[in-house]
Structure 1
Amino acid sequence: MYLPCHLSWLVVVFLLFFATPPPADAVIEDVLDIIHVVKEVTVGVLKAWDIVQQSQIAQSIELPLMREKQRKVLKRLKEMSRQIDQAEQKYAENVALAVESVTAFMNRNAPLMAKMNDIHDTMNRISSRFQQMQKYEEYQDKLEASTLITFAEWTVSPNAHSVHHLMDRLHLILLGPEEKENTTANMLSMLAISYEESMDQICHTKQSAQQFLNSLYADIALTELKGYTMMQFSWMMLRIYGKGNFTQEVDLMRMDFEKRTERTLKLLREVMRRADRIVWRCDPAKFVRGKNYDEVTRLLQGYIENEVDLNKEETCRETCDFYQSTRSEGCFKDLYCARQPRCSGKLYHCTFVDSDMWVCPASRNSTRRYEYIEYENGRVLGQRSACVRGTTKVDSWWRYLFWHCSYCFCLCDEISIKSDRYFNLRETVSDVENNKVVTGLRFVKNNRIFHLQIQEGQLLPRGAINRTSLSWKPFEDYKIFDRDVRNGRDYHTLSFESRSVDLDDIYTDDNSYVVVGVRFRVVGAHLNVEAKLAEYDFKAGKLINPEINSFWKSNDNTDVSGDRRQKINLHSPDMSTRTIVKSIPDSRHNQYIDFVNTSLEKDAAQSTVPFIDTQEVVSNPPVPLSGLGIYHKGQSGYGGFLAPKIMTYDFTPHIRVPQDKD
């Protein structure tokens, strides 16, 4: 259940005082949201007032009749309390995450921390009194009238400890003095900015900044609902027991509430409008290949080859640098070439490092060829360690005293059983026939093919998602050698000439559309992501003829046309998993990145980077998406990760102030 629309409960409270209440048999759905809770509670308050106002002032009523009215009011109150408790339980996890996040980064900001402590203290006081009121509900038949009267008088009295004062104080801390109206200096704005700057918190909570604001505000909204309920209950008890009419007091309270409601919603909507809606994942605590990351393998990999085997004539007349695009043409006299797996593809960018070396081969089931290479001059490529298979001495030689047959270090681009370099091009669409939309993404490697898998969930009214319907849609289980499976149609094969991935944010500003599908396509030599968007009815929570009212959206810019894309270059990258500092997003919309080999010095060019982050990217709570994207995250000197991100639905337009027109 998503919270932004729930926050419009303030408007609902205001409107319900001047509108006809809904039918008495209105039912709260199993999937509770705050707007429904408040509607039920406020209607319950109005009906409780009806009970009180159906008779004269209590001086002329006998005690048994007073008790009967008290029981009826407390019975109504008990139902309202139950609904508030249900809502608190429903959102307890989200609120706890939001509060924990606030505490984590507030510790570095003393002024904000002081304000946050003030808010917590004020909310705790209101909640404590509410729990006391719930105790009265439980023991209503045993309570003395004086107990209820004392509680009621304390609640509404104009002093610094009353609930009325505490609610005013909460409003003041959050939004500041009304005469100093500022949409950027209020507490909600400052918290949103702090949250966005604290990237770890986004990953921890799995909430966008906009969702974070609403999770935090949900706690405050429910607290205000408790205070409102207590105040109404108190006026009722005081009237029942002949302490006055209190009609004017109630009217003044409603007018004050209306004024605060309008101000709160205007500021809240403005803060939400500016808040980021992106959700992405930080690096896991421990990298586990196949579980939270995976790799493109043997796309461009360091490979040792003697010059004599780099040409058909078996000559050594050139230098290694001469061979920038060639192949392994043979194995001269079965020297070292016979002791290593041959590169059956093309060789690029050969270079000379040193004549003689010790080579530590990788294990036979590894996608690496070498663990490290140590040259006689002391230079080491890769990380030297215990060599399980033992090192092999490899020496260059002279031919006819004139030509030096040098061992070159090249990059091998080889399609083989150990090279996982395929990306699925088939579209993946949610079950729109059953009103399901995309709620999350993750990369999955299956049969050596990378798939962008979707999480789907059933839409409910007002942008909610049925949690019980959430599931990861199975990807198509095919192999590249299956009949009727073709390269360029079903899957894309990376190669030296075609290894670029576009980094884009694909979204719509039209809030009547949500994401229902995703796919990759190839534009030029670039892998490019597309999102399928379908129209839907927010209030009803229904897709509108998704087969007709839907379209695919993408960014068609290339590096040579349109608003030209910028390239992200990886400088001397090490393996992505060797970083001890968490990766951070370093790309932006309309860029691209190439898959490249790791650094010669750091890894002997044995790995292909960036790696692929396979963690699931979902929001908590789950919501429809207005967009998605592919981005790169990393640290300087490392290959980083290619990963998906999601953009949560923008609920801002659905938060209405009373004078707004729909």
Structure 2
Amino acid sequence: MEFMKWGLPLLLATLVAFQQPTQTEGLIEDVLDIIHVVKEVTSGVLKAWDIIQSSPLAANIDFPLMREKQKKVLQRLKEVSKQIDQTEDQHAQYVALAIESVTSFMHNNAPIMAKMNDISDTIYRISSRYQQMQKYEAYKDKLEMSTLITFAEWTVSPNAHSVHHLMDRLHLTLLGSEDRSSNATSSNLLQQLTTAYEVSNNQICNTMQSAQQFVYSLYADIALTELKAYTMMEFSWMMLRVYGKGNYTQEAELMRSDYEKRTERTLKLLKDVMLRADRIVYRCDPGKHVQGVTYDQVTRLLQGYIENEVDLNNEETCRETCSFYQSTRSEGCFKELYCARQPRCMGRLYNCQFVDSDMWVCPSPQNSTRRYEFIEYENGRVLGQRGKCTRGTTKVDSWWRYLLWHCSYCFCLCDEQGLKSDRFFNLRDTIADVKRNRIVTGLRFVKKNRIFHLQIQEGELLPRGAVNQSTLEWKPVENYNFFDRDVKKGADYHMLSYESRSIDLDDVNTDDNSFVITGVRFRVVGAHLNLEAYYSEFDFKTGQLIQPESNSYWKSNDNTDVSGARREKLRLENADVSTRTITYSIPLSRHNQYIDFTNTGLDKDAAQSTVPFIDIQDVVSNPPVPLSGIGIYYKGRNGYGGFLGPKLITYDYTPHVQVPKNKF
């Protein structure tokens, strides 16, 4: 039994390294966490071999010395076991999301699902044996020596059921044959899954992971499974040697060499897949749109408004047509006709047109931002959705004046800044608490005091591109009103108007992996709202932002001029209310475009709403990661107003996918 009391804790020494941070700073390398863990475990195993090789042979074991080694190993296990459990649980959550996503969007692809089932079966077999090995430690005082010997021989036996064979099978299924004549990309399951993930619009919203995060989650599951298999094999060779069954130095070297080659090939192909993978995270439509919860609106920017020609000019004449008045004002209320029965437009009127002479108007409730629910003309044309009119319809008729002039009711667009018009965007900087090593990890739009703010989620940056999830919080937006004494238009906020209502649809990104985003803001360039990102330098190994911030800078897409000649306009024409579509919105914009806030269509909504709406859902990744870029994008469906929302571009981990300098 003394053999087991010494051998099993020695096994635990290798298991401890499974998720434990390195204890030797000089060995820390600029690689991702899973790669670093693999390197640390294998290094720990080799040190365990040193203990065995420096110990007496099985026939001459010094039991007090073995008990002392056992004591030290168990003490180390006690110190890190809690951290191991937490890390494994955390990792399992993201793997489960990725696997569930694969099952969801690949269920019709029989060949890929067959491979995934094969991989799942192999992982299960390795993991179940690994768990069995862990149970041996719990019952170390009651196990027979033959039990461990049998397990060790079963693990390393050269047959189809051995762990070594399972590792080969897993590698072949995932990455395909090493035959150079084969197409590495077509046989690489990671690449196939990543491509399918990118073209499946809803998957990114189910997992809240970019395609690069998705493929890394899948790789992490495979890498940790192979690490378990490697640990079992090393343990088995050590146990067989401890129990006097042979030297096994050469066998262990061959196994180690195979594992190293597999790891190098896997990392090479993983790096290639991650380099091509998209890094964008955005939010899909919710199951149900709820104003103030999932979306909000710019209101009464350009809104349909009925006005008679006689009130569109100072002379109170009707000698022109409606289309003559393309930019004017409401100048009065002739004889207190229909103009006296509706709230007057106190701003400018644009794009007036004649629809028909006589109509029935259904006014909206007084607390609504709409003016009309619908308008029905005598010729049968209806603007908006005809339905029950709670306030009752009003008959409105044009008339003749002096038998020469027809005083027609025109349908115009009213640009009126007032209590019911929310049309403001914050221009102040929003910066994370860099002094506490916080970075931006998420974005969302928030409307406060009728002003739209781009709010940031911040979190503490940790070594190797990780984020401390316990520190995540949404930084409160600034609480000010646009009419406050020291608040200035154009400096603190931007007010949309007919002449200035464009917003740029951009991806603001950097290729410099030594910088991450720590702040955001809008600026106004010409007549365009334009997004900017604030970048701060950091050290990947330590996770520390570089202080002071002498190298920090603001970045934007400056490809904007007043004419918009260098940008493509994304047009919304005759659009219906954004929330009326029965299908989910899809991203329709691309970098270097812009879109105008405009009115909904005359026939569909009587031009009563301003589109696009603003998506105010949280945009975060799961798990949270640093950001190399952010953007504003448009999503919608043909014929509907759609939504504007922020998107994230996750940090590019590709440069950190490499074989550690100090090999396994």
SS at match of 2:530: strand
Instruction: Report how far residue 51 of structure 1 moved.
Output: 3.5
Out of 318, 321, 324, the residue aligned to residue 323 of structure 2 is 321
* TM-score (normalised: structure 2): 0.91
Structure 1 residue 281 corresponds to structure 2 residue 283 = yes
SS at match of 1:174: helix
Counterpart position of 2:10? none
On the 8 A contact 2:295/2:616 being kept in 1, the answer is yes
On the 8 A contact 1:78/1:134 being kept in 2, the answer is no
Alignment of 1:210-229 (within 5 A): 210-229=212-231
On the 8 A contact 1:559/1:566 being kept in 2, the answer is no
Counterpart position of 2:208? 206
Match for 2:617: what amino acid?
Q
Using the alignment, how far apart are the partners of 1:194 and 1:615 within structure 2? Answer: 25
Structure 1 residue 128 corresponds to structure 2 residue 109 = no
Instruction: Report how far residue 39 of structure 1 moved.
Output: 5.1
Using the alignment, how far apart are the partners of 1:260 and 1:660 within structure 2? Answer: 16
Match for 2:49: what amino acid?
W
Out of 403, 411, 416, the residue aligned to residue 414 of structure 1 is 416
Out of 382, 392, 395, the residue aligned to residue 394 of structure 2 is 392
Counterpart position of 2:587? 585
Instruction: Report how far residue 291 of structure 1 moved.
Output: 1.1
Instruction: Report how far residue 23 of structure 1 moved.
Output: 5.3
Instruction: Report how far residue 77 of structure 1 moved.
Output: 11
Alignment of 1:346-385 (within 5 A): 346-385=348-387
Counterpart position of 1:114? 114
Instruction: Report how far residue 71 of structure 1 moved.
Output: 6.4
Counterpart position of 2:3? none
Counterpart position of 2:143? 143
On the 8 A contact 2:163/2:233 being kept in 1, the answer is yes
Percent identity of the aligned residues?
72
On the 8 A contact 1:66/1:240 being kept in 2, the answer is no
On the 8 A contact 1:84/1:222 being kept in 2, the answer is no
Using the alignment, how far apart are the partners of 2:72 and 2:134 within structure 1? Answer: 13
Match for 1:129: what amino acid?
R
Counterpart position of 2:514? 512
Using the alignment, how far apart are the partners of 2:380 and 2:434 within structure 1? Answer: 62
Instruction: Report how far residue 570 of structure 1 moved.
Output: 1.1
SS at match of 1:510: coil
| Matched positions, count | 639
Counterpart position of 1:46? 46
Q: Give CA-to-partner distance per residue, 1:164-200, whole Å, 9 cap, x none.
A: 1111111111111111464522111111111111121
Match for 2:492: what amino acid?
D
Q: Give CA-to-partner distance per residue, 1:206-261, whole Å, 9 cap, x none.
A: 11111111112111111111111111111122112221111111110111112112
For the structure 1 residues 217 and 73, does the alpha-carbon distance in structure 2 shift closer, same or farther, using more than 3 Å as the test? farther
Using the alignment, how far apart are the partners of 1:407 and 1:376 within structure 2? Answer: 13
Out of 571, 574, 594, the residue aligned to residue 572 of structure 1 is 574
On the 8 A contact 1:357/1:394 being kept in 2, the answer is yes
For the structure 1 residues 627 and 44, does the alpha-carbon distance in structure 2 shift closer, same or farther, using more than 3 Å as the test? same
Structure 1 residue 540 corresponds to structure 2 residue 512 = no
For the structure 1 residues 563 and 321, does the alpha-carbon distance in structure 2 shift closer, same or farther, using more than 3 Å as the test? closer
Alignment of 1:274-313 (within 5 A): 274-313=276-315
Q: Give CA-to-partner distance per residue, 1:124-169, whole Å, 9 cap, x none.
A: 1111111111211111111111111111111111111111111111
SS at match of 2:386: coil
Counterpart position of 1:184? 185
For the structure 1 residues 618 and 274, does the alpha-carbon distance in structure 2 shift closer, same or farther, using more than 3 Å as the test? same
Out of 604, 611, 615, the residue aligned to residue 613 of structure 2 is 611
Using the alignment, how far apart are the partners of 1:394 and 1:75 within structure 2? Answer: 90
SS at match of 1:371: strand
For the structure 1 residues 495 and 218, does the alpha-carbon distance in structure 2 shift closer, same or farther, using more than 3 Å as the test? same
On the 8 A contact 1:48/1:76 being kept in 2, the answer is no
Instruction: Report how far residue 658 of structure 1 moved.
Output: 5.2
Counterpart position of 1:93? 93
Instruction: Report how far residue 88 of structure 1 moved.
Output: 2.3
Counterpart position of 2:6? none
For the structure 1 residues 69 and 569, does the alpha-carbon distance in structure 2 shift closer, same or farther, using more than 3 Å as the test? same
Structure 1 residue 241 corresponds to structure 2 residue 243 = yes
Match for 1:270: what amino acid?
D
For the structure 1 residues 610 and 194, does the alpha-carbon distance in structure 2 shift closer, same or farther, using more than 3 Å as the test? same
Q: Give CA-to-partner distance per residue, 1:459-512, whole Å, 9 cap, x none.
A: 111111111221111111110110111111111110001101111111110111
For the structure 1 residues 560 and 303, does the alpha-carbon distance in structure 2 shift closer, same or farther, using more than 3 Å as the test? closer
For the structure 1 residues 546 and 530, does the alpha-carbon distance in structure 2 shift closer, same or farther, using more than 3 Å as the test? farther
Counterpart position of 1:171? 171
Using the alignment, how far apart are the partners of 1:440 and 1:630 within structure 2? Answer: 13
Match for 1:309: what amino acid?
D
The RMSD of aligned alpha carbons is 2.7
Match for 2:523: what amino acid?
R
On the 8 A contact 2:598/2:612 being kept in 1, the answer is yes
On the 8 A contact 1:262/1:658 being kept in 2, the answer is no
Using the alignment, how far apart are the partners of 2:185 and 2:365 within structure 1? Answer: 58
On the 8 A contact 1:183/1:270 being kept in 2, the answer is no
* Structure 1 unmatched runs, 5+: 1-12
Match for 2:185: what amino acid?
T
SS at match of 2:185: coil
Counterpart position of 1:8? none
Q: Give CA-to-partner distance per residue, 1:77-98, whole Å, 9 cap, x none.
A: 9779877654321212211111
On the 8 A contact 1:533/1:551 being kept in 2, the answer is yes
Instruction: Report how far residue 118 of structure 1 moved.
Output: 0.8
For the structure 1 residues 34 and 561, does the alpha-carbon distance in structure 2 shift closer, same or farther, using more than 3 Å as the test? same
* Structure 2 unmatched runs, 5+: 1-13
For the structure 1 residues 292 and 22, does the alpha-carbon distance in structure 2 shift closer, same or farther, using more than 3 Å as the test? closer
Out of 632, 635, 638, the residue aligned to residue 633 of structure 1 is 635
SS at match of 1:179: coil
Counterpart position of 2:5? none
On the 8 A contact 1:196/1:209 being kept in 2, the answer is yes
On the 8 A contact 1:424/1:451 being kept in 2, the answer is yes
On the 8 A contact 1:439/1:457 being kept in 2, the answer is yes
Using the alignment, how far apart are the partners of 1:129 and 1:408 within structure 2? Answer: 80
Counterpart position of 1:650? 652
